[in-house]
Amino acid sequence: MVHLTICLPTRNRQAYCIKTIEALAQNSGDDFEVIVADNSDDPAPLADYFAQSLNDRRFRLMAPGGAVLPMVDNWERAVSHANGRWISVIGDDDYIDPRITGVIRRYEVLHRNVDAISWECMSYQWPDNRPVPTLASIPVSNGTQLHSMQTLGDRLYRWSERRRSPSVGVGIYHGAIRRSLMERIKEAYGGRYFEHPNVDWENTCKVTAQARLIVHSERPFSVLGACAASNSAANLSSAAMKLRVKTFEHESRDCISLNQPSFPFLLSAESASLCLSIAATTAWFCNSYGIDLTGFGENYAHAAMEECKYSPTRENYDAKVASFAHGFAQWEGGKWARLFAPAPFSPPKTVNQLTGLTDDRLQIREADIGATTPAEFYRFGEHAIMPVEALVSGAKVFAP
């Protein structure tokens, strides 16, 4: 029986995708499957790899169609072909430990209504994506939490934490969603699993609205990788950001627009940020489906100021401030404009070179590790965290 389907959407990053497939294939479990949804311009690299190098019934390849699909449609077709009782999506430059199926089974026994499971993630920059010194991150806790749905809603929809990004790590991306919940989402929202081009955060909105019980593992089970060709790589390079935004806008031109009249903050190559793209997605969802937004305006003004605070350059700071100021002036008749008063630009004072433990996360200078893929980094990180077997068995302590 397939307990977990791992969906692997990919586009024009075949070399990274193959590395991820190879790493997943090393796992001996037979209760998971991997669907590779190839949306590349050239189908040959992955097709040849499946035909000549991969002989594993747990893996299925979905070939590209006649035209490039928007990312949201590629995710849609991958999930629609899943056979698993639970479904997860990761990027083609990421990694997930298939042994998470053991933890899912344990949570199903302990919490019978659970239909969404989240976990902490390690983070890792591929060697080709280190234009500045970078730190890899390993969460080292191992507890289990039951999420408060009210708290998640306040953080996600109304930005109650007033941070540049809501701390709501739930959803199908680097999480596991029960198939029955995905079917409820499809029925409730337009007959599709996914609608919005910012597909991971859109799903987070829908899972938060529809889940009966979300269980969270503090122990990491996947790695958020960032290669030079990834969207997240743009956070380290303004040139990469401009290219990613241009490509994203072109390939999503027939989808729901990120720029909505009800939330007039324009996403441009110069001012793009995770803060803005997440807010545009959550605002679209709440306005489309009648979610209470009380407090959002004031809270988002504070989040926008924090986003400006972390600008790497004066040019980037000026672009963000101008974009946010224009948006607040237009939004709800300028009701929240007076609250947006960012502090003057201050150049970053730290460089990512220090290794140490902060807030239950071990930060390690990546240049010193030697890991060349997210899977290798995950195996390295496992030396510092609770073994999977101990977590599945319910052990309270373990001997390193």
Confidence tier at 252 by pLDDT (50, 70, 90)? low
Residue 238 pLDDT greater than 60, yes or no: no
Which of 9-18, 22-31, 211-220, 235-244 is predicted least confidently? 235-244
Write down the pLDDT at residue 359: 84
Share of the chain above pLDDT 90, in %: 78
Write down the pLDDT at residue 268: 76
Of the candidates 63, 62, 7, 53, the one whose C-alpha atom is nearest the C-alpha of residue 33 is 7
pLDDT digits (tens, 9 = 90+) for 198-220: 999 999 999 999 999 999 999 99
Higher pLDDT, 356 or 57: 57
pLDDT digits (tens, 9 = 90+) for 375-389: 999 999 999 999 999
Count of residues making up the chain: 400
Write down the pLDDT at residue 347: 87
Structural domains for the chain: 1-400 (3.90.550.10)
Distances (CA, A) of 43 to 14, 16, 33, 248: 9, 15, 21, 20
Residue 128 corresponds to which amino acid? D
Mean predicted confidence (pLDDT) in 6-26 = 97
pTM of the model: 0.93
Confirm if 118 and 217 have CB atoms less than 8 A apart: yes
Write down the pLDDT at residue 242: 59
For residue 345, the tally of other CB atoms under 10 A from its CB is: 16
Confirm if 38 and 46 have CB atoms less than 8 A apart: yes
pLDDT digits (tens, 9 = 90+) for 283-313: 999 999 999 999 999 999 999 999 999 998 9
